[in-house]
Amino acid sequence: MDLKQFRAELRQEHKDILAYWERYAPDPTNGGFYGRVDYQNRPDPNADKGIVLNSRILWTFSAALRHTQHDDYRATADKSFQYIKQYFIDPQYGGVYWSVDAKGQPKQTVKQLYGQAFTLYGLSEYAHATHNAEALKMAKDLFQLMVKHAYDSKKGGYHEALARDWSEADNYILSKRENQETKTMNTHLHILEAFSNLYRVWPDKSVDQQIRGMLDMFQKHIVDPKTYRMNLFMNDDWEVRKTAISYGHDIEASWLLPEAADVLGDKALQKTIHDLGVKMARAASDGLAPDGGMNYELDPDGHLNQERSWWVMAEAMVGFMNAYQLTHEKQFLDKSMQSWEFIKKYLLDTKNGEWFMGVDAEHKVMGRDKISMWKCSYHNSRACLEMLDRLEHIR
């Protein structure tokens, strides 16, 4: 496959993903978007609706609008913005709920920083695409709430979650509080991603400082300097609580960290983080299987989870392309293209649309949902946009 064909296929795939979500995601009865749609495209009208899903829809269609200038995508972006504003924003304490029920009533009100980050990511992209002043103000307000309540001014980084009123939380959603997993790689990665996107529309010194601080935390505490793989769970003092290897997150971070440095435009910082990103991509290559798919995770006990997840494969395609751009080593370009070939062969649902959640080592389809709290339009649509942009600069 030549690069021209590669671009053409990705451009069509991006259109197909958006068309799927425009057709099957909207909830005509309760408003917003269904919380769950299965592989046969049958919605569950009673499913709870999560902020991760809804903020990723906001980002997806805002980014599509900005990149393609196709005004058709504006309607879904507007719809998503209005739903989040009406149902997810906490009118009393600020920030967003983790989930609401099918009718929009608050369900899980914990202020999970992962959810705050994705809301900020979506709001900043919507503001970028539409120049909506209200969305930008909401993004600024959310940033300031996150820094005020969740930033650890003594040790650096962000606490994992807080209660609805921003006091100490009784429980966390994405980690185990009882195991002192109070700071996580995953949440920090997506806070960094959100702050980088906010900086594009609001290049304020306070955002600059937070991005620099986050990159420092990744270098000091999250990325292992010996293996260039990331620690997943830590306590308040950054002591590691779990040592599993997440190949998907490693390859995703290998390009999100350089992206953050690029946003700031600090050449010395860019060189340092670019070098780190390449080393992380090399390390993540260990997760590749002979079929071109990337394994999901290596547990601390040595058990290899051989699921080839939809989001992992999307991130592999971008991460290896980023490494190729930084090194010009053809092996990275080959790995990126092989990731797309794997996606086409095993993950695209050519009958009912969109991507399967994953396949196992024998390529048997796994999962059951095309849309859910976690199965969203962000990883695959973003991968298409990132690849299209990057391929424009490769000849």
Spatial separation of the C-alpha atoms in residues 57 and 126, rounded to whole Å: 11
> Is 145 in contact with 136 (CB distance < 8 Å)?
no
The dihedral built from the CA positions of residue 113, 156, 172 and 319, taken in this order, carries a sign that is positive
Spatial separation of the C-alpha atoms in residues 305 and 297, rounded to whole Å: 5
From residue 377, alpha-carbon distances to 45, 299, 357 in Å are 19, 28, 12
pLDDT confidence tier of residue 395, bands split at 50, 70 and 90: low
Quote the pLDDT of residue 169: 92
pLDDT confidence tier of residue 162, bands split at 50, 70 and 90: very high
pLDDT confidence tier of residue 242, bands split at 50, 70 and 90: confident
Residue 106's φ and ψ, nearest 5 degrees, are: -55, 135
Residue type, 83: Y
Query: Which residue(s) pair with 305 in the sheet?
Result: 297
> Is 193 in contact with 121 (CB distance < 8 Å)?
yes
What does DSSP say about strands 308-309 and 304-305: parallel, antiparallel, or unpaired?
Answer: unpaired
Spatial separation of the C-alpha atoms in residues 201 and 132, rounded to whole Å: 11
Encode pLDDT of 62-119 as tens digits.
999 999 999 999 999 999 999 999 999 999 999 999 999 999 999 999 999 999 999 9
Return the biggest CA–CA distance within the chain. 55
Quote the pLDDT of residue 380: 98
> Is 54 in contact with 61 (CB distance < 8 Å)?
no
Which candidate, 376, 324, 346, 296, places its Cα nearest to that of 25?
A: 376
Domains and CATH numbers, the chain: 3-391 (1.50.10.10)
pLDDT confidence tier of residue 179, bands split at 50, 70 and 90: confident
